[in-house]
Amino acid sequence: MLSTIILSYIVSVTFQACAINVFIPLTAPTNSSSISPSHISFSIEQDRWTDWPGATTKNEFVSNALNNLASLAGEPPRLRIGADSEDRTNFQPGLKLTETVFAPPSAATPYPEAESVVVGEAFYKAAQNLLPGTHVTWGVNFKALNLTAAFLEAGAIADAFTSFPASSGLSLDAIEIGNEADLYTNNGGRPANFTIAQYVTQWTSFASNVSLTVPIGPNTTTKFWGGAFAGSDHSSTGFSPQGLFANGILSSTPGNLINTISQHVYSGSGLGCGSISTCIQDLMSKAFVRGNLSQFIPDVAATQAQGLAYVLGETNSYFDHGTNVVGNVFSGAALWALDYALFASLLGIERLYFHEGVGYKYNFIQPVTLNLSIVDGTPLAEPLLPHIQPAYYGAIVTAEAIGKTGRVSELSINSDVVSGYAFYTNEGQLSKAVFVNSEGFFSNSGANRTSVHLDINFASTGQSPSHMSVKRLEIGHADDTDGLTWGGQTYETPNAQVSGTLSVITSDVGEGLDIPATQAVLLTFST
């Protein structure tokens, strides 16, 4: 997906040679944030979305991969179905098979998005194969500026969800009208002088028509998402939440039915960042994660001031499906995803939808068998079966940390490479902590692996935990493409189900712990 490059930056890494004192509050600080069990969710490219649930029968691999997260966190990841191909989709009643037109694969883009997608009822009804209780947001075509097309799509989406039995728990949370409309002037979707005011007028017209065929109203569970912009200029006159509000979108009848503002953001292009090790280190560095996300603080504040939720409705590492340099194929992406997701929650970002497509380099999950290399588009000697990629482990660690907790707080750590987060129960009691050492350890480094020692202290009165279980995300090298383990176990299996002997060490809190470079740990406290 095309999006904007976020900030120029220089990453400076300080290697720690001595112990670091970490102070963890026993009760949730006032600046802690609530965190949803589905904090890590997924955005699915619409053209081949049925490959994920299965077009007719359930895709067991994907179902298992998503169920792993649901079992740990307490609810399934939510799905947003749309992206670029959302604005290339049209509905044809009675069509049995989806008709798609793809550009030829290339070395840079082995699995391009469809240039045209024509779908029938079955395309939307494939959602019946999702995990029970899954919440879905679905996008309709806005770029074509065809009211009838959007109306027909929305009606088919609504009909599909109405047909599902109540026992499925499947929920159509929202309709999204158009993808990255702020880029329409670059891709022929609107004239060069297209403004946020014109956008609001057109969006209101489309939303009014959509709400005639989808049960969207003050007393319904289905609402609208607003925004879905590729970037934000944070002003009241540009494409931003502030621009939407200043131009009266919430004053309109359909605008009053918006409950979420969606922003898209990637971590840059990955072009020109240098060697593989430099690009990976840049991506997962503590400073870059914080700089990339903190620019949206004004947008989050403006959105929350209107009583609305703010989400990253489409996000991932380097845009254009990931790059040949990094993508999410390398193990360092697991630490990036973990730190990125947890830090986002502290800024008031309610949920992150990591973008996925078939064969995209930055995928957490590859849902179907691939016959072309995702790196350069060349034919594979043997087909590559469905599999998870390293970033998936970041989602697993996040889900387990969130499970049975309700709040999260960042820990103040005097280190350029170590990040830390404390997790609290809904009653505000300390439960767990996560630490990430983002210093890159690479296969060609020729150096010994460094390690940081943390001395754990508790920063408030009350009974302090005396014991902690230590579970490690162990990574060979930041530039490895596989071989990660979580607590000694692997998810790199033919069916995405966890395998191997669980390894969790219980120790005294007073002993502290060591975290090698390119590793993360989860601590669970007990008295």
Q: What is the dihedral of CA 313, 485, 367, 56, to 10 degrees?
A: -100
Q: Do 132 and 108 form a contact (C-beta atoms < 8 A)?
A: no
Q: What is the CB-side half-sphere exposure of residue 118 using CA atoms within 13 A?
A: 8
Q: What are the extents of the domains in the chain? A: 36-402, 407-526
Q: Is 481 left (phi over 0), alpha (psi -120 to 50) or beta?
A: alpha
Position 376 scores a pLDDT of 87
Q: Do 439 and 517 form a contact (C-beta atoms < 8 A)?
A: yes
Q: Do 79 and 42 form a contact (C-beta atoms < 8 A)?
A: yes
258-289 pLDDT, tens digit per residue, is 999 999 999 876 555 667 788 889 899 999 99
Q: Do 161 and 127 form a contact (C-beta atoms < 8 A)?
A: yes
Q: What sign results for the dihedral spanned by CA atoms 526, 414, 288, 489?
A: negative
- Rounded Cα–Cα distance for residues 215 and 329 (Å): 41
414-458 pLDDT, tens digit per residue, is 999 999 999 999 999 999 999 999 999 999 888 889 999 999 999
pLDDT at residue 7 greater than cutoff 90: no
Average of pLDDT values for 480-489?
96
Identify residue 388 by its one-letter amino acid code: I
Length of the chain: 527
Both tokens of 137, joined, read 């947001």
Q: Give the CATH number of domain 36-402.
A: 3.20.20.80
Identify residue 89 by its one-letter amino acid code: T
Position 463 scores a pLDDT of 87
Position 276 scores a pLDDT of 79
In degrees and rounded to multiples of 5, residue 125 shows phi and psi of -70, -10
Average of pLDDT values for 166-188?
97
49-82 pLDDT, tens digit per residue, is 999 999 999 999 999 999 999 999 999 999 999 9
pLDDT at residue 3 greater than cutoff 50: no
Superfamily of domain 407-526: Golgi alpha-mannosidase II (2.60.40.1180)
Position 375 scores a pLDDT of 86
Global pTM reads 0.95
Percent of the chain with pLDDT over 90: 87
**Average pLDDT score over the chain:** 93
Position 176 scores a pLDDT of 98
